[in-house]
Amino acid sequence: MLGGPTFAPGPLRGVLSVPGDKSISHRALIAATCVRQPVSIANLNPGRDVRATREALAALGVTIESGATAVTVTGAPLREPSAPLDCMNSGSTARMLLGVCAGANVPARFDGDASLRRRPMEPVAAQLRAFGARIETCEGRLPMTFGGTPGVETRNFILLAPSAQVKSALLFAAAYAGVSITVGGDRESRDHTERILSYLGARVRWDGRWVGFHPEPLRALPIDVPGDFSSAAFFIVAATITPGSSIIVRDVGVNPTRTGLIDALQQMGARISVRNSRNVSGEPVADVAVEHADLRATVIGPDLALHAIDEIPLLAVAAAFARGETRIDGIAALRSKESDRIAAIERLLGAVGIPVTVRRSGVAIVGGTPVARGAVVATNDDHRIAMAAAVLACAAGPIAIDGGDSLDVSFPAFLSTLASVRAGN
């Protein structure tokens, strides 16, 4: 269990940037393959998850070339890969590329690492079967085989639960098949796919509950990926809970389907301001300024939790420092992320003396004075839990984790970026 870094306490000061948004990077690569001319993508996320999508697309016949500041994607008719597509630890890669293959009618087999093999694939497979795809899973999980789409059947879909990845798989299937579809039953899940397809010229209409897609020839417009809000979130929370902190995170994507963390923290009394708002490649972007603040407990309901689903461990860390009991509801899906993140929240806060009460679909946390107790926190190779431990350590004292390799999934430069705002003290 030993062998990971030990995170030190202390305030954060200065100006920083974070890597390109991971969710948008996946979608930018895939959407660019639908364009007839080469597409330039700047600030692509450098992590392992996006590399999984990039390498899988290359195996399907897409040319992706790296330049000094951008990659260039040149689409081509997709071909059947000679080996299973290795999705590594990326659920986005597996689910969205299943939609691509279904729309393009290109047989493929999908696999991934042990963690990804535990995550559910049946929700996306079932929707794409209705589209007309022949898909076999291993008891609803990977390995998964797509055998072809003899003909498009259903064109009107209802999501059984809001899922940006399932919705995106259907939209990419429609884009490759050249058909119109509608998708209902959403609940304002991430709309990055709708935005990037619309930016490139497709006719897309959406209102947070319903999406209508109509294919049009897409334009070879350059895509500039904004900074990843989920990466910025670690520094936003660390500065909020740590006395003496004052930071600005530049050029961050502030898509309202992603910024539930800011809304929840402001309910708790956080001092966060969004500045210099603008639009970049169809996405809202801004600079986020944060100063330390004393927090009070709040109730985070399912709708708000959906817009902060990747940041729930960080909200739990903030709740550990808030006066009173904070309740976070509607987060049962965290059981099947890269790790069981509800269990990870229990371990993480338990290491600083804060008990967590687990409810049927959420958690309750009574804030206090978290103090690190010398334990090594198990992350189960989950990158977000590893970085959440670093955030907690900023205000609670030194915290060690069992390994740091998972940081390469989304934020390889996390440790050096953290050190850079520590150096400003």
274 found inside a domain: yes
Pair 31, 169 in one domain:
yes
Ramachandran category for residue 311: left, alpha or beta (phi over 0 → left; psi -120 to 50 → alpha) = alpha
65: domain CATH number? 3.65.10.10
92 found inside a domain: yes
Pair 156, 51 in one domain:
yes
Pair 197, 272 in one domain:
no
163 found inside a domain: yes
Say how many domains are in the chain: 2
**pLDDT tens digits for range 226-282:** 999 999 999 999 999 999 999 999 999 999 999 999 999 999 999 999 999 999 999
414 found inside a domain: yes
Q: Pick from 197, 224, 251: which residue ends a domain?
A: 224
Q: Pick from 168, 198, 224: which residue ends a domain?
A: 224
376 found inside a domain: yes
Pair 163, 188 in one domain:
yes
Bridge partner list, 59: none
Pair 218, 276 in one domain:
no
Pair 190, 87 in one domain:
yes
275 found inside a domain: yes
Q: What is the mean pLDDT of residues 194-214?
A: 97
Q: What is the mean pLDDT of residues 52-77?
A: 96
Pair 13, 26 in one domain:
no
Q: Is the pLDDT of residue 1 over 50?
A: no
CB atoms within 10 A of CB 69: 8
Pair 206, 257 in one domain:
no
Pair 370, 274 in one domain:
yes
Largest CA distance in the chain: 62
Domain extent for 40: 22-224
Q: What is the pTM of this model?
A: 0.94
Pair 14, 89 in one domain:
no
Question: Which entry of 310, 329, 381, 382 is annotated as an active-site residue?
Answer: 310
In the block, residue with structure tokens 């431990």:
389
Residue 310 annotated among the catalytic residues of the structure: yes
1 found inside a domain: no
Q: Pick from 202, 224, 246: which residue ends a domain?
A: 224
Q: What pLDDT sits at residue 375?
A: 79
Pair 155, 261 in one domain:
no
pLDDT band at 424 (very low <50, low <70, confident <90, very high): low
**pLDDT tens digits for range 149-192:** 999 999 999 999 999 999 999 999 999 999 999 999 999 999 99
**pLDDT tens digits for range 338-381:** 889 999 999 999 999 999 999 888 999 999 999 998 879 999 99
Ramachandran category for residue 284: left, alpha or beta (phi over 0 → left; psi -120 to 50 → alpha) = beta
Pair 72, 211 in one domain:
yes
317 found inside a domain: yes
Average pLDDT, the chain: 95
